Amino acid sequence: DSGVTQTPKHLITATGQRVTLRCSPRSGDLSVYWYQQSLDQGLQFLIQYYNGEERAKGNILERFSAQQFPDLHSELNLSSLELGDSALYFCASSRLGGRNYEQYFGPGTRLTVT
């Protein structure tokens, strides 16, 4: 078990709605990453936070936002949901922010937009 936890495991919601996905990193890890895994786009990097600050941004839509709190847990907010947002959302954490530090992945949150 990598120690990264994500809630909820599954989420079913309707188009136009807003949801919040939560991630708790491994104990001691300062950096959190969010990835989206969909059938047509594959695994794509969304955003990274390091010790509460945004560090890097990838293919994240303007309808999506994220933050990392003082206790280092992170939340990914998805709003005005569309059918195409249905995907598996992974959170990963690493000790620091550099590439020499392995990213440990959580079990993911499966989002279904109907």
Site string for another protein, 45-84 (x = CB under 8 A): x--x------xx-x--------------------------
Give 43 or 83: the residue with its C-beta nearer to another protein. Answer: 43
Give 70 or 98: the residue with its C-beta nearer to another protein. Answer: 98
> Looking at 19-27, 40-48, 60-68, 73-81, which segment touches another protein (CB under 8 A)?
40-48
Give 103 or 113: the residue with its C-beta nearer to another protein. Answer: 103
Give dist(CA 38, CA 18) in Å, integer. 19
Determine which residue in the list 2, 13, 65, 86 makes contact with another protein, applying CB under 8 A: 2
Q: Does 12 bind another protein (CB under 8 A)?
A: no
Question: For the chain, what is the HEC assignment?
Answer: CCCCEEECCEEEECCCCCEEEEEECCCCCCEEEEEEEECCCEEEEEEEEECCEEEEECCCCCCEEEEECCCCCEEEEECCCCHHHCEEEEEEEECCCCCCCCCEECCCEEEEEC
Give dist(CA 76, CA 57) in Å, integer. 13
Contact footprint for another protein (CB under 8 A): 2, 4, 33, 35, 42-45, 48, 55-56, 58, 88, 90, 92, 97-108
